[in-house]
Amino acid sequence: MSITLDFVDKTVLVIGGTSGINRGIASLFAEHGARVAVASRSQEKVDDTVASLKNLGAQSMGFTVDVRDAEAVKKGVMEVHENYGELDVVVSGAAGNFVATAMGMSANGFRAVVDIDLMGTFHVMQAVYPCLKKPGASVINISAPQAFIPMEAQSHVCAAKAGVDMLTRTLAMEWGPEGIRVNSIVPGPIENTEGMKRLAPSAEILEQVKESVPLKRLGSTEDIGNACLFLGSPMGDYINGAVIPVDGGWSQNGTGVMRSALSDFAQGTVK
Ligand code: COA
Ligand code: NAP
């Protein structure tokens, strides 16, 4: 079998693809020849991302959507399908996070994150299914270490992302017979992202997090994009239902530094 990371004539949709890790993933697919569609809530962010993907030489389009709105997600995905045909790769990565203990947030706060991360992923999965290339499509859900490592001040994210990974594993079974692969990628601490800004709000905490990674560095958006390229390519053809940490080994030690830092932060010891 000849193996290639060439995505010419392939369509990639990245939900939540207008900043941080997901935008990095979208850019890497564009650099490898794909047609790339992105979606998020902000028209400004969508326009800016589409322009930058076009600058990379890719055909690109975008739509605004809140993933909590199932019908709006369906409508947007259908527009991409009508313009670009079957979807070869879907990356679902819209998410929300804030630092608060379970007793420090309202039920609505907990629900907001579950609605965006878990229900949002479900809405995306239902919307893309009729448009996926069968056989051949690769669906990638962006998870987080909180899915399997309990972290103080992250009960909402832990619950939501654990749900995302079980959705991944279940859909891998339901859709596998049609030749659709569904996997999760679990990024470690990724530099220059909104997620890390929220979880490591001082230079000191960020340094501690970096030191706690066995590879002694924070990850880059390209590290995550590379894993997505692999999963989206024929090299990933037999990977289905996997939850894959791309984290420099961070989750091996239980992300201990982050846990205690967040606990201090949530209790107001660190400003
Ligand atoms: N501590 C406790 N509760 C908080 C909070 C915090 N730091 N930030 C938000 N909340 C609560 C709000 O008080 C509200 O609950 P209430 O109605 O009972 O007061 C609830 O969460 C929803 O907040 P709201 O601002 O209305 O939600 P939203 O839908 O506009 O935004 C968030 C969702 C809160 C997740 C917002 O941070 C977001 O949009 N994040 C996207 C970007 C992001 O988080 N990136 C990192 C990804 S890892
Ligand atoms: P980010 O820059 O905030 O990216 C989140 C993206 O999702 C943005 O494009 C945002 O755009 C969109 N989005 C948020 N809420 C949405 C909603 N309700 N509907 C539609 N789109 C929405 O965050 P990031 O740090 O790069 O994180 C990206 C992904 O990686 C997330 O799934 C996160 O859980 C995961 N992750 C991150 C890290 C890290 O170190 N940063 C570690 C582990 C996992 P709009 O604001 O325009 O909607």
| Position 5 in a domain | no
Beta bridge partners of residue 181, listed in sequence order: 138
Instruction: For 81-122, write each residue's pLDDT tens digit.
Output: 999 999 999 999 999 999 999 999 999 999 999 999 999 999
Closest atom of ligand 1 to 97 CA is 44
- Residue 224 has a CB neighbour count (10 Å cut-off) of 28
CB of 215 within 8 A of CB of 249? yes
Q: Which ligand number lies closest to the CA of residue 193?
A: 2
Residue-wise pLDDT for 126-164, tens only, equals 999 999 999 999 999 999 999 999 999 999 999 999 999
> Inter-axis angle of helices 256-266 and 203-212, to 10 degrees?
160
**Count of domains observed in the chain:** 1
Indicate whether residue 194 lines ligand 1 (CB < 6 A). yes
Q: Is residue 148 part of a domain?
A: yes
Looking at this protein, which amino acid is placed at residue 143?
S
Evaluate: CB of 201 within 6 angstroms of ligand 1.
Answer: no
- Residue 4 domain-assigned (yes or no): no
Give me the pLDDT at residue 204, please: 93
- Structural domain of 134: 11-269
- Written as one letter, the residue type at 187 is P
Per the domain annotation, does 218 fall within a domain? yes
Distance (Å) from CA 247 to ligand 2 centroid = 17
* CATH assignment at residue 151: 3.40.50.720
In the chain, at which residue ranges do the beta strands (DSSP E only) sit? 11-15, 35-40, 60-64, 89-92, 138-142, 181-187, 243-246
Whether 1 is covered by a domain: the verdict is no
CA of 112 to the centre of ligand 1 (A): 7
Start-to-end CA distance of the chain, whole Å, equals 55
DSSP β-bridge partners for residue 138: 89, 181
**Global pTM value:** 0.96
User: Over 80: is that where the pLDDT of 266 sits?
Assistant: no
Hey, whose CA ends up nearest to atom 39 of ligand 1?
Answer: 96
Tell me if 262 sits within 8 A of 152, measured CB to CB: yes
Confirm whether 3 is domain-assigned. no
Predicted confidence (pLDDT) per residue in 17-44, tens digit: 999 999 999 999 999 999 999 999 999 9
**Looking at the CA of 266, which ligand is closest?**
1
Question: Is the pLDDT assigned to residue 57 strictly greater than 90?
Answer: yes
User: In angstroms, what is the span from residue 34 Cα to ligand 2's centroid?
Assistant: 22
